[in-house]
Amino acid sequence: MAPPDAQNRHHGDNSVNSSRKRSLAISGILTLSLLAAACSSDSSSSDTTSASESTVAETTTSAASTETTEAPAAETTVPADTTASSDAGSASTEAGTTDTTPAVDYAALQGSLIASGATFPKAFYDEAIANFAEAAPDLTIEYGGGGSGKGRSDLQEQVVDFAGTDGVVKEADIALFKGGDFVYVPTVIAPITMSYNLPGVDKLQLSPATISAIFQTTITKWDDPLIAADNPGVTLPSTDIVVVHRADGSGTTDNFSKFLNAAEGPDAGGSWKLASGSELEWPAGTQAGDGNSGVAQIITDTEGAIGYVDLSDAKANNLSFAAVKNKAGKYIEPTLEATSAAAENAKIKDDLTYFLGWADGDKSYPIAAQTWIIAYTKQADPAKAEAIRGFLTYLLTEGQTLAPTVDYAPLPESLVAKALANVDKIGA
C-alpha cells in the first residue's frame, strides 16, 4: 500500500469517488434534434472494408458485418469536444442537454435485463444502473462482470440481453452469434493504470520498453538499470518484481497488450514478443487475478507487485500508479484529461470500433482504453428491445454526467450522436 502522501498525489480528493450516490444525477436530457440527426442517416454496409470514408456527422454500419482488428474500415477523426474532470460537476459533455422532455419515457420501461462482460467499465455501469432505477422503477438490470470474453460468449449463446466488451469480436466468431447482427455502442473511456506496491517509492515513471521487460520477466528486480534509467534521482529497492495479470479473458488485457505491441512489438523494433489478445501466454512465476478488482487486490496484498488495472479500481483500492512515457516522449499520469487528449484524434471505424492506446499528442496518456456494449439488432420481444434502447440511451445522455464521479471520461459529443444511431438499430 502506498503511503498517505503518495495516495494524495496520485488520487487527489477521493471524496468524489466515495460519494457514489444513488440519487438521479441528471444535468441534461436527450434532445429530440440529436436523435433526429443521429437517426436520419442510418446507413448500412455488409463489409466495412469497402465502405466509403465518413464524416463525424454520418451514421455507421452494423457491427456484425466486420472484424475490425483485421479488416481495414472507413474511419473518421472524432475531436475530443468534451474535457473530462475528476470532479463530476466540471464534466463538460453537453450530450443530451435540452429544455424539452425526454424522447424516451424511462418510467414506462418494464421487465428485466441480464448482462455480463467487461469489468473495466463495471463501476460506471453499476453507478448508472443504480441511478437509472429511480427513472425506470419497473425495469430491473443486472450486470454480472466476468470479463469481456465471458460477455461476448454469453451474448453469442443468447444467455444475456447485452454484453460489455473492451475488445471487438473476431471475424471468425461473428457467424457464431445465434441472434444474428449486433451493434457496438461505445459508452465511456478511461486509462489503464500501471499500479504498483512499492513502499518508499511515491513516484514512478515507466517507459514502454521497461513495461515490456517487466511483464515478460526479463527483468526481475525493482532496482534494475532499465527502471532506474526511467527514474533518475529515485532510490529504488532491490525488491523482487511480482507481475500480476488477468486470469480471465479480458478486454483490459487486450488493450494493454495492444499498447505494448504498438509501442514495443516487432513492427516497432521493440522487445515485446507476446503479441496481443484478451488472453496471453504469460511467463511462469507471474500471478493472475479475476477481473480488474482481482488484480488490484493481489497488488494491494503483495509488496513488489505491479499490474494493469483500470483507474476506478486502482483508486478504490488506494493503489499507487506510474506515469507512462507516451509516443511524444512525455511521462503522463493516467488522468481523465489525458485520456480525453488521447481521444482527440481517434480513428472511428464505421462500426464504431476504435483503439485509444499509443495515441499521438504530447498530453495523451498512452494506455487509454475504450469500451462498448454490444446487443443484437433484432430482439424477439418488443418490450425487451425497448428496455435495451432505453437503458443505452440513458448511458449515452444523462449517464455521461455520472462517468467522472467513478473515474471515467465521457465520450466526445460527436461520438455520442453516432452511438445513439446504433442504439436506434435495436428493435423487434
Please report, in tens digits, the pLDDT of each residue of the chain (428 residues total). Answer: 433 333 333 433 333 333 333 333 333 333 333 333 333 333 333 333 333 333 333 333 333 333 333 333 444 444 443 333 333 333 333 444 433 344 799 999 999 999 999 999 999 999 999 999 999 999 999 999 999 999 999 999 999 999 999 999 999 999 999 999 999 999 999 999 999 999 999 999 999 999 999 999 999 999 999 999 999 999 999 999 999 999 999 999 999 999 999 999 999 999 999 999 999 999 999 999 999 999 999 999 999 999 999 999 999 999 999 999 999 999 999 999 999 999 988 899 999 999 999 999 999 999 999 999 999 999 999 999 999 999 999 999 999 999 999 999 999 999 999 999 999 999 98
Kindly state whether residue 282 falls inside one of the protein's structural domains: yes
Kindly state whether residue 353 falls inside one of the protein's structural domains: no
Last residue of a domain, one of 344, 362, 379: 344
CA–CA separation, 183 vs 76, rounded Å?
18
**Pair (102, 171) in one structural domain:** yes
| Alpha carbon 26 to chain centroid, angstroms | 22
**Pair (32, 179) in one structural domain:** yes
CA 219 → CA 104, 203, 302, distances in Å?
A: 55, 20, 18
Spatial CB neighbours of 42, under 8 Å, sequence gap ≥ 6: 59, 421, 424, 425
Q: Are strands 111-117 and 139-146 parallel, antiparallel or unpaired?
A: parallel
DSSP string, 125-180: HHHHHHHHHHH-TTEEEEEEEE-HHHHHHHHHTTSSSEEEESSPPPHHHHTT-TT-
Kindly state whether residue 120 falls inside one of the protein's structural domains: yes
Nearest Cα neighbor of 340 from 413, 239, 427 is: 413
**Pair (248, 215) in one structural domain:** yes
**Pair (256, 291) in one structural domain:** yes
**Pair (176, 197) in one structural domain:** no
State the residue range of the domain holding 208.
Answer: 4-13+192-344
Kindly state whether residue 310 falls inside one of the protein's structural domains: yes
**Pair (160, 276) in one structural domain:** no
Query: How does 316-335 read in b/e, with b if 16+ C-beta sit within 10 Å?
Result: bbbbbbbbbbbbeebbbbbb
Last residue of a domain, one of 297, 329, 344: 344
Kindly state whether residue 377 falls inside one of the protein's structural domains: yes
Residue 71 has what DSSP assignment?
A: S
Q: What CATH number should be reported for the domain holding residue 217?
A: 3.40.190.10
**Pair (124, 208) in one structural domain:** no
The confidence score (pLDDT) of residue 345 equals 80
- What the block records as the C-alpha cell of 34 is 440529436
**Pair (120, 235) in one structural domain:** no
**Pair (241, 179) in one structural domain:** no
Identify the H or E element spanning 395. helix 382-396
Residue 15 phi, psi (nearest 5) = -65, -30
Place of cell 463501476: 123
Query: How does 16-27 read in b/e, with b if 16+ C-beta sit within 10 Å?
Result: bbeeeeeeebbb
The confidence score (pLDDT) of residue 17 equals 38
CA–CA separation, 366 vs 46, rounded Å?
33
Kindly state whether residue 20 falls inside one of the protein's structural domains: no
Kindly state whether residue 352 falls inside one of the protein's structural domains: no
Q: Percentage of residues in the chain with pLDDT exceeding 90?
A: 75
**Pair (102, 85) in one structural domain:** yes
CA torsion sign for 413, 419, 423, 425 is positive
**Pair (244, 386) in one structural domain:** no
How many domains does the chain contain in total?
A: 2
**Pair (176, 207) in one structural domain:** no
Kindly state whether residue 70 falls inside one of the protein's structural domains: yes
Q: Are strands 182-196 and 305-310 parallel, antiparallel or unpaired?
A: antiparallel
The confidence score (pLDDT) of residue 103 equals 78
